[in-house]
Amino acid sequence: MGDTDLSMTDLVVVRPNNQKEMYGPLSASMSAVEPPLWAALLAAHARGLGYTVSIIDAQLHGWNAEWTAKEVALRNPILTLIVVSGNNPTASTPVMSCVPELVTQIRRFGTKIIALAGLHPSALPEQTLRETGADFVVQGEGFYTLGYLLTALKYDKVLDLKGLWRNNGIPQPSPNIGSLDALPMPAWDLLPMHLYQAHNWHCFGDVPRQPYGVVYTSFGCPFECSFCNINTLFGKRGIRYRSPELVVDEIRHLVEVYGVKNLKIMDEMFLLNKEHVEAICEGIKDYDLNIWCYARVDTLDAAILDLLVGAGFRWLGIGVESGSDEIRQKVHKGKFSKQYIRQAFDYVRKGGLYIAANYIFGLPDETPESMQETLRFAKELNTEYANFYVAMPYPGSKLYEQAVKVPDSWAGYAQLSEDTQPMDTRYLSGDAILKFRDKAFIEYFSRPEYQSMMAQTFGPTVIDKIDEMLKFKVIRGRMDESIKV
C-alpha cells in the first residue's frame, strides 16, 4: 500500500482525526469509519497528473496531531493537503476543532507548505486561513486548483490560480471539473481498505461490518434545504452524473480487489434519475452486496424499489426532519405531508427495504409541542433505525446566514460531543433542544414495540446490539441539567 519511497512524495493528503471529540464514547465501536472519499479523489487526480502521492488517514488510526505530523515529515512532501471532510456534509465543520493544532505540529516537524480543502474551508476560506495558519485554502471541488498549485510549487512557476485562497487577495472561483468521467478512480490502493467499517445499523442481522466501501455516482443536489450546506462544495445547485459504466467498474473493483460487501452510495440524490439508477443496478445485480443510499420520499416509485432490492440495496436513509408539516416546509424540505410520508414509508417496506429515518429538533419556529409531535411521528413510523439530530447553522447553509447566534467553537457543531451547542429558537433554548434530543433517542430505541419489530425482522441477537447502543451515555458538558423536557 502507498508509495515505496516515502521521501519522494510530492503530495501528502491528510484526513485529520477528532473522532473522540465528535462522537465521545461511541467513537470506538458504534460509529462508522468510512474511507476518506474526497482525500482519495484528490489524491487520484494528482497522481493522474504525474505527481507522487501518499494518503494519511489519521482518523482511521486514531493518531493525534503530533503523530500525524511525524508521518507527514517522513514523506517530506512539496505540499501537504489537509482535507476537512466527514461522513456527511454536517461532519466537516466539527473536524475543524483539531486542524489548527495539526497545522502547528506539521510545521514543527519541518513541512513548509500546507493547504486545506473540503466543505468547511470552502464555506469560510478567509476565516480558515486566519485560524489555522495554513498557506492556502483550495476552495470548491479543487481538482483544477490542486493540479495548478502542485505545478507552481514543484517547478517554481508563478500562476494565477483560480479557487486558491491565500493571505494576499481574493481569487476568482475555480471552474468545476467539466465531466465527472474525467476523474480517475479514487486512490483506494493508498488506503488500508480492510480496516474501514460500516455503521452498526447497516449490518443488523449479523453482517460483518468490515470491509466497507463508499462510491459517488453524482455530485451536487438540485434542492435547497435551508439546513444543508452540500452545494457549498460545488458552488451552486445542480447535479452532475458519472457514467453508470464507470460506477459499475468501480464497484466491481471494490468487490473483487478489496472484498467489499458493505457499500454506501454517497450521493445526496441517487434516486432522482431513474435511467441512471437502472443502469447501475443492472450492472451490479450479480454481486452479494449490502448497500444503503439516501432518498427523498418524493423520489420513490415501485419500479425503482424493485431495481434496488435486486441489486443488493438493503437500506434507504430518508429525511423526515420534522413531524410538523409547517416547520418542514419552512426549511424548504418539500411540500409533502405527514400522510404522504406514511404512505411512502409503507411503500418502501413492502418493497423489501429497511429505513433509517432522519429527524432534526430545533429547526426555526420549533416549540416544545412540535418537538413532541416529531417524536410521536417517529414512534408511529417505527423505522428500523432513526437518527435524531439537533439543528445546527453549518457554514455554507442558509441557517448560518440567518443565525443570530452560532456555536462559540467548531467542536460545538458536533452532534454527539461534550461541546454540542445547538441554536436557540424563538421558543426554546439550545440546551432544552439538546436535552430533548437525548431523551428522544433513549425513548425511541427502548420501546417494546420497536424491539419486538426488530427481533422479528433481524433475529433476537439484534436486541443485544440495541442494548449495547443504549448503554452509551452521551456526555454533555454544556447542558443545563435543571431544564425539564
Residue 29 has pLDDT above 70, yes or no: no
Backbone angles phi, psi at 483, to 5 degrees: -70, 135
The answer to whether 475 and 450 have CB atoms below 8 angstroms apart is: no
Identify whether residues 388 and 307 lie together within a single domain.
yes
Give the whole-angstrom CA distance, residue 265 versus residue 316: 10
Q: What is the mean pLDDT of residues 87-96?
A: 83
Identify whether residues 376 and 448 lie together within a single domain.
yes
Does residue 190 lie in a domain region?
no
39-69 pLDDT tens trace: 999 999 999 999 999 999 999 999 999 999 9
Cis check for the bond before 448: say yes or no (omega within 30 of 0). no
Does residue 482 lie in a domain region?
no
1 pLDDT band (50/70/90 cuts)? very low
355 pLDDT band (50/70/90 cuts)? very high
Query: What pLDDT is attached to residue 178?
Result: 87
Identify whether residues 154 and 205 lie together within a single domain.
no
Helices (H) and strands (E) in the chain, counts: 19, 14
Query: What pLDDT is attached to residue 161?
Result: 83
- Describe the crossing of helices 368-381 and 430-446 by its angle, rounded to 10 degrees: 20
Give the whole-angstrom CA distance, residue 180 versus residue 243: 8
Query: What pLDDT is attached to residue 299?
Result: 83
Identify whether residues 201 and 327 lie together within a single domain.
yes
Q: What is the mean pLDDT of residues 227-240?
A: 90
Strand order in the sheet with 290-295: 212-215, 262-265, 290-295, 313-321, 354-361, 385-390
H or E stretch covering 164: strand 164-165
Does residue 16 lie in a domain region?
yes
Does residue 175 lie in a domain region?
no
Domain boundary among 165, 185, 219: 165
Give the whole-angstrom CA distance, residue 81 versus residue 146: 9
Domain boundary among 141, 165, 189: 165
Residue 127 sits in a domain whose CATH number is 3.40.50.280
Residue 4 has pLDDT above 50, yes or no: no
417 pLDDT band (50/70/90 cuts)? confident
Give the whole-angstrom CA distance, residue 149 versus residue 158: 9
Query: What pLDDT is attached to residue 484?
Result: 65
Residue 141 has pLDDT above 50, yes or no: yes
6 pLDDT band (50/70/90 cuts)? low
| Residue with more model confidence, 450 or 206 | 450
Query: What pLDDT is attached to residue 405?
Result: 87
Query: What pLDDT is attached to residue 200?
Result: 92
DSSP code string of 280-321: HHHHHTTS--EEEEEE-GGG--HHHHHHHHHHTEEEEEEEEE
Compute CA distances 147 → 27, 56, 314, whole Å: 35, 19, 38
Residue 89 has pLDDT above 90, yes or no: no
Does residue 171 lie in a domain region?
no
Give the whole-angstrom CA distance, residue 141 versus residue 232: 9
Residue 169 has pLDDT above 80, yes or no: no
Q: Where are the beta strands (DSSP E) in 210-284?
A: 212-215, 218-219, 240-241, 262-265
Query: What pLDDT is attached to residue 372?
Result: 98
Average pLDDT value for the chain: 91
Q: What is the mean pLDDT of residues 340-369?
A: 95
225 pLDDT band (50/70/90 cuts)? confident
Identify whether residues 239 and 358 lie together within a single domain.
yes
Identify whether residues 203 and 68 lie together within a single domain.
no
Query: What pLDDT is attached to residue 3?
Result: 43
Q: What is the mean pLDDT of residues 91-117?
A: 94
What lies within 8 Å, CB to CB, of 72 at 6+ separation is 12, 14, 56, 80, 106, 109, 111
Does residue 183 lie in a domain region?
no
The CB-based long-range contact list for 439-447 (8 Å cut-off, 24+ gap) reads 439/485, 440/359, 440/361, 440/371, 440/375, 440/378, 440/388, 441/388, 442/470, 443/375, 443/379, 444/375, 444/378, 444/379, 444/386, 444/388, 445/386, 445/469, 445/470, 446/470, 447/379
C-alpha cell at 328: 418542514
Does residue 188 lie in a domain region?
no
Identify whether residues 232 and 366 lie together within a single domain.
yes
Query: What pLDDT is attached to residue 481?
Result: 64
Identify whether residues 44 and 97 lie together within a single domain.
yes
Residue 204 has pLDDT above 50, yes or no: yes
| Cβ atoms within 10 Å, residue 67 | 15
27 pLDDT band (50/70/90 cuts)? low
Q: What is the mean pLDDT of residues 413-440?
A: 93
Residue 408 sits in a domain whose CATH number is 3.80.30.20
Identify whether residues 348 and 205 lie together within a single domain.
yes
Q: What is the mean pLDDT of residues 81-108?
A: 90
Identify whether residues 153 and 213 lie together within a single domain.
no
Domain boundary among 123, 148, 165: 165
Question: Could you give the number of structural domains in the chain?
Answer: 2
Residue 368 CA to its chain's centroid (Å): 29
Compute CA distances 474 → 32, 123, 419, 471, 481, whole Å: 17, 29, 11, 10, 13
Give the whole-angstrom CA distance, residue 454 versus residue 168: 58
Does residue 178 lie in a domain region?
no
The whole-model pTM stands at: 0.94
Identify whether residues 414 and 373 lie together within a single domain.
yes
Give the whole-angstrom CA distance, residue 474 versus residue 485: 17
Give the domain extent around 83: 6-165
Identify whether residues 157 and 203 lie together within a single domain.
no
- Describe the crossing of helices 65-75 and 99-108 by its angle, rounded to 10 degrees: 40
